[in-house]
Amino acid sequence: MILTDRQILAEIESKTIVIEPYRRECLGTNSYDVHLAKYLAVYTDDIIDSRKDNPISHFEIPPEGFLLLPTKLYLGVTEEYTETLKHVPFLEGKSSIGRLGIDIHATAGKGDVGYCNTWTLEISVKQPVMVYAGMPIGQLIYFEVSGITEVPYNKKSSAKYSERTVKPVGSRMFMNYDSEKMRWK
């Protein structure tokens, strides 16, 4: 079941959902709008190796905007820091963003119970598109879970994306590869 606006407000009141900064006008009927922060990043190498920690280069979106190109993968980040301690958060692109040909996540739309951070966006475009810091970029939808979570994400020793950040974070897939055993975990 998806939480409604009233349920989201009740969870914010009880502190099981945290959104910083919170703006009431961003609360929809059953979602909360999130915004593109001022930082983007790109991988610096032409070839990305999933077994390696691939370097990324961060930069700020200038006030006049930044032109996204279809030949690049951009990592963005939400302005909003969120904590979801009792529900499963899903990040979806806004329909207005999709109609511009912007995809904000390739495969990582679902968070885990206990996810506490900003959201890194995997941004790709179908044709060149200008973007601006602070523009609405997506919406968070909250699902109820059935049962009690054994170990929430923020308590897992294996959590790869729990360090609080204001900049996009590159893939940490390399942490899933055991080079001694030469196999994936």
Rounded CA Rg of the chain? 17
- Per domain, the residue ranges of the chain are 5-184
pLDDT at 1: 94
List the pLDDT tens digit at each of the 185 positions of the chain. 999 999 999 999 999 999 999 999 999 999 999 999 999 999 999 999 999 999 999 999 999 999 999 999 999 999 999 999 999 999 999 999 999 999 998 777 788 999 999 999 999 999 999 999 999 999 999 999 998 888 888 888 887 888 889 999 998 888 888 888 888 98
Residue 7 CA to residue 36 CA, distance in Å, equals: 25
pLDDT at 180: 84
- Give 2's contacts (C-beta < 8 A, 6+ positions apart): 30, 141, 142, 143
Span 5-184: which CATH code? 2.70.40.10
Tokens found for residue 22? 């919170």
Choose, from 60, 122, 144, 150, the residue flagged as catalytic.
122
pLDDT at 6: 98
Catalytic, 122? Answer yes
Residue 164 CA to residue 183 CA, distance in Å, equals: 29
